[in-house]
Amino acid sequence: MKEKLVLVGNGMAGMKVIEELQTIAPERYDITVFGAEPHGNYNRIMLSPLLAGEKTLDEIMLNGEDWYTEHGITFHKGKEIIEIDRIGKRVFAADGTVEDYDRLLLGTGSHPVMIPVPGHDLPGVVSYRDVKDVDSMLEASRRHRKAVVIGGGLLGLEAAYGLMQQGMEVTVVHLMPWLMERQLDETAGRYLQQSLEERGMRFRMEAQTSEIVGDENGIETVRFKDGSEEAADLVVMAVGIKPNKELAEKAGLYCERGVVVSDTMQTFDPSVYAVGECVQHRGTCYGLVAPLFEQAKVCANHLAGYGFRLYEGSVTSTKLKVTGVDLFSAGEFQDDERVENIVYQDPHAGVYKKVCVKDDRIVGTVLYGDTGDGTWYFQLLKDGTSVADFRDSLLFGQAHLGDAGHGGVNQVANLADDAQICDCNGVCKGDIVQSITKEGLFTLDDVKTHTKAAASCGSCSGLVEQLLAATMGGDYEAGKAKPMCGCTDMSHDQVREAIRDGGLTSLRAVFDSLGWKTDDGCEKCRPALNYYLISTWPDDAEDDSQARFVNERMHANIQKDGTFSVVPRIWGGVTTPQQLRSIAEVAEKYEVPTVKITGGQRIDLLGVKKEQLPGVWGDLSDAGFVSGHAYGKALRTVKTCVGSEWCRFGTQDSTTCGIELEEMTWGTWTPHKFKMAVSGCPRNCAEASIKDFGVVAIESGWELHVGGNGGVKVRATDVLCRVETMEEVKEYAAAFLQLYREEARYLERTAPWIERVGLSYVKDRVVEDAEGRQTLAERFHASQKHAQDDPWKFYSKNHQEKFEPLKKAG
């Protein structure tokens, strides 16, 4: 029986723990999440683009409400937990909801600090912490003109920039002599102020707010300690945060500045864990995303029962893009007589670099305007690397060191695999390089989709592109997709679009119209082009059999000794004595060396000689068999269990469903092989959750799964939706198959295709858009008519006479 895990707080840190658990221990817990806000889990780092109107709420969502359902997670949105009963192991929400737990995870985050000056509670005074605050600021910007932002740190400047984008006149009030004093030294802070002033932002530095003047109708002015005033219709307080520890304190958990946790992220109650901004670890509270994600990984490791990770604190760096200005800082960079400061300034270019060195080791750095070497400096700092040998060229960056020591042409190529590239999402160099290599990624967008690196604030985009260039070598050009092959500079997507827009229906038309560099293409582009032609124009395209792989031309799978494997189709794995007898007779007649039951519930005749193929298929077709397409970029198998007809656990007739799906879809051409399965109950004996399209029977009907892969890289399916009838199963299957056929790249399985385009996109096309789904299904059936009317048209025209007996099938 699963244990119950309850997460209090639907923020980035707590939900990162849940995401990690879904990867490393998806079956261990029944998970319930309580979030005080009426939304799914969104990226707080992206509140600034939301305020500026550059992003929508949907675009900054990390986990929409569907995600919780898809992963079997109970999600209580808009419900604040107000009490924890540690003895009874229960939590109580303000609306009366009660939930038991075996393990409790606190991710309650932090509160914005509100300066307790007179007038701080007037209407028109807001904090800048969540979507509700952004909505209040946007509403104010539509009715008013003047805003005062109290706080010249990162949040304050982002709020000011967003309000300026909405047309407001903004004054930033800051208590300290320079902006962002925690992330920048004085020189960089003043550079930043100058740049922002040039864009229209106003500042009151070293100003202490004494009162906010107004009444119940709104704000009039902000008054300062020196007696001066600033007119305002809106006041935004962005002066800092404090850990939200009140719930934990009320429950009797030990707290200081935050909820105190050990290196395993456990509180003093071993069944209660905590992560994020509410936490105090070894005396430190963290507000940056990177250390919070490190905490989440450790916490998930212990909740999963592995117990080999420890959180020992974080050495933090800050990589930011504030209103278009790149900033980076790490370590101790304020002036210290014991530290040597190596400084470079170019005021005209807006570049400032300071590297702080003590005993030939970097202890801190500040970069303004040019942050390309920030990650390198940070790695040297963390590793305690001596810079004595290249101290003279340290400010010129890694690229100037050549191949000696720590240098290299690419600024990030020589970093350690655990060097963090994306602070927002905690993505290291090794993760990115592995994804680029294994998934064949060639664009920044691909890396964002697969790893989340550069998908938030975007300040690490340059580093990610450097990694792409270093990893892919000459194959990479920033922002461009990989060409199909050496015959063209066009990508798969560009070629497919050109075929569609130009009405091209033959290989020759493609070669002539698109300026192919070779007369007849090559072994890479010809099969892809042939597929794009026949999938785009099933009625009109010329299907060039010579462009197909040898297995498709021979209708059999070539083996390592030069013989072939023949697999007749057995619908849904269900056969008869007569069919078995026919197969046995063929095997005896042609002295087939090996007869094997396949993993897809079929019979494989192995060791058939090439000259025997026409005879083997002729006899099999006389017995009513068609090809199982075990060789093709086509539907392979539809695996089934016995379902409700025989199994005491079966809830639906999975066998019939599987047979009808296979009869509907056999013979179709697809970008890559395509496998299906139908399980008669959630026990999933047919392994539907690792197929391209899987169907799992439930009491109320059927649960549809997509994008699974049981090969070298195992990928569990994503849940597409639930339907009630077998007819609906077939409609959704046809629509999904057609969308995949029309939009995936050649030799791209459904798993990487869905990871590339996003499950939400597939759902929008197949689930949410009923009319579009029906249209896709109709196009699928229209193309199937051609494929199943003449299932042997894949053969070369030169071999028609030789293979004439095969046309008896189907």
Work out whether the CA dihedral 464, 470, 473, 474 comes out positive or negative: positive
Q: Which of 157, 170, 152 is nearest to 235 (CA)?
A: 170
List the strands of the sheet with 169-174, edge to edge.
Answer: 125-127, 234-237, 146-150, 169-174, 202-205
Q: DSSP strand E in 315-441: where?
A: 317-322, 325-331, 340-346, 351-358, 361-368, 420-422, 427-428
Residue 5 CA: distances (Å) to CA of 124, 293, 502: 39, 19, 56
647 annotated to a ligand binding site = yes
- As given in the structure block, the two tokens for residue 658 are 């599987």
Amino acid of residue 405: G
Any idea of the CA torsion for 607, 613, 619, 620, to the nearest 10 degrees? 70
Reported residue count of the chain is 810
Q: Is 605 helix (H, G, I), strand (E, B) or coil?
A: strand
255 annotated to a ligand binding site = no
CA atoms within 13 A on the CB side of 319: 27
CA 705 remoteness from chain centre:
18
**How far is 41 from 281, CA to CA, in rounded Å?**
24
Q: Which of 95, 113, 104 is nearest to 248 (CA)?
A: 104
H or E segment at 637?
strand 635-640
Residue 581 burial class via C-beta count within 10 angstroms: exposed 0-12, middle 13-18, buried 19 and up: exposed
Q: Are 279 and 346 in contact (CB under 8 A)?
A: no
DSSP 193: H
Beta-carbon contacts of residue 49 (< 8 Å; ≥ 6 apart): 55, 60, 162
Q: How many CB atoms lie within 10 A of CB 309?
A: 17
Q: Look-up: residue for tokens 């107000």?
A: 82
Amino acid of residue 321: K
Contacts of 336-343 with CB under 8 Å at 24 or more apart are 339/363, 339/364, 342/391, 342/394, 342/395, 343/395
Q: Are 274 and 282 in contact (CB under 8 A)?
A: no
Buried/exposed code over 693-723 (b: 16+ C-beta within 10 A; e: otherwise): bbbbbeeebbbbbbbbbbeeeebbbbbbbeb
* DSSP result, 546-557: GGS-HHHHHTSE
**How far is 54 from 49, CA to CA, in rounded Å?**
5
Q: Which of 714, 753, 752 is nearest to 26 (CA)?
A: 714
Residue 496 CA: distances (Å) to CA of 479, 485, 656, 794: 19, 14, 37, 21
**Binding site for siroheme: residue ranges?**
685
**Binding site for [4Fe-4S] cluster: residue ranges?**
641, 647, 681, 685
**Binding site: residue ranges?**
641, 647, 681, 685
